A and B are shown apart, each in its own frame.
Chain A
């Protein structure tokens, strides 16, 4: 996992709750990484999961909810890296359809060695999109939060139904997305 994701998590916690909260989270988590995280470095995936599990223990909230919330919160920070691609998108749906071929391509260029999830699409109807998520990390909750963040960015309501999930034994996660149009 690229250090950028850890840095985004750190920034979120520090911005909202202060340095002490981040320190507490790190101090109570058994991390493989010593010191802090550097955006361009690669760290064990387990460290992110460990941090979120500790947060779950400390807050009493489930891991999937924390990951979803994190995804939604960090989307605006990620947008800054890919302003052109976002600006070229007509709306949430066209942006989501560009993730695999454009955003992930750029991620691989910018961050050598980055391992990104694979998305395939079924564009069935104008207001409907199926996104198939495949990743060994099984961070579909984070993906769900990011999709919510996309909706926030474009001011659109996106209803999500996850009809398949690796956590339920499937070999992929299937997001059925329904676009309800611009928010008033």
Chain B
């Protein structure tokens, strides 16, 4: 009906009417208009009221949801804080043994850390471990706890003499749990060390370099580790071998995770292993506790907002 001739509705057109009829029609139209206006006002009032109550209901529902969300968040935060306390409690801060002073600390970048370290005393020294679970947060933290508990149990049983043997068994448990049971893809870089009270250290596993501060020269030596990641393949025995180094009285062994050396500042520079060595060399005869504290303080100063967990462990050999 877009203006086409012969539109069926056009037949409604009416001829000009008598003025009295117009007045009558207008009066009727006015009456219809009055009814319409009254109805519109009532409708408007009803709809305004309805909107008001709907708004009230919405606000109440919003408040309820907000409160529930806050409560849930608070509960989760409490549980995470508890998990963090448990994790922190399992990491030894300071261990003094016959001929050995050891200190360690970790600075997780998320609620739970994925870095692992531990010291387990034995009759003639101790077991030490250090590792880093891939990723951050709760999953990494749980894998780290799994690793800590398994390594502690395996070393305590005295069934295996060498780090490579323990590491192979540890890998079997981690592989089974992570790959098969959790269907996860986490992996761990880790080194396990057996420190003896005669200064001998046997170690195995692929992790960061071991730093050995020689008291005699006042310089750090960097010792490569070899092997493979844990939790990736079921059997690592073929590629896991023991290595050995010796500490002289006054020497220090420093272990760390990549969060320390790869901490990056605003200029894009990494903290680097050289700065770690320089700090240890600068502190020289300080206690392991002081060295660990200084290292963590320096890296925080260098990169105030770390993107990875940072761990440092230092052991000083004092002589038998």
Contact = CB atoms under 8 A, between A and B. Distances in A.
Decide whether A and B assemble into one complex. Answer: yes
Interface stretch (A57-65, A96-104, A163-171): A57-65
B153 interface: no
B25 interface: yes
Contacts of B40: 38
B10 A65 contact: no
A16 B43 contact: no
Nearest to A35: B35
Nearest to B37: A35
Contacts of A21: 12-14
A38 B2 CA distance: 25
Interface in A113-139: none
A69 B8 contact: yes
Nearest to B26: A23
Given A19-B29, A23-B29, A40-B43, A59 B35 contact: no
B1 A70 contact: yes
A40 B47 CA distance: 11
Interface residues of A, number: 32
Interface in A1-34: 12-13, 16-21, 23-27, 34
B49 interface: no
Contacts of A20: 14, 17, 25
Contact of B43 (A19, A38, A69): A38
A174 interface: no
A72 B2 CA distance: 8
B11 A27 contact: no
Contacts of A41: 39, 43
Interface string B1-36: 110000111111110010000000100110011111
A184 interface: no
- Classify the interface of chain B: helix, strand, loop or mixed: helix
Contact of B32 (A36, A69, A73): A36
A55 interface: yes
- Classify the interface of chain A: helix, strand, loop or mixed: helix
B39 A17 contact: no
Interface residues of B, number: 23
Contacts of B36: 35-36, 38
Given A17-B13, A21-B14, A38 B8 contact: no
A18 B2 CA distance: 16
Interface string B240-262: 00000000000000000000000
B9 A55 contact: yes
A152 interface: yes
B53 to A, nearest CB: 14
B56 to A, nearest CB: 18
B10 A38 contact: no
B28 to A, nearest CB: 7
Given A38-B40, A69-B1, A13 B32 contact: no
Contacts of A25: 12
Contact of A60 (B11, B25, B32, B34): B11
Contacts of B47: 40
Nearest to A40: B43
Between A18, A21, A25, the greatest number of chain B beta carbons within 10 A of the residue's beta carbon is seen for A21
Interface of B: 1-2, 7-14, 17, 25, 28-29, 32-36, 39-40, 43, 47
8 contacts: A20-B17, A23-B28, A34-B32, A59-B12, A61-B9, A66-B8, A66-B9, A73-B2
Given A12-B1, A38-B39, A59-B12, 12 more contacts: A16-B9, A17-B10, A18-B13, A21-B13, A27-B25, A40-B47, A58-B11, A60-B11, A61-B9, A65-B8, A66-B9, A69-B9
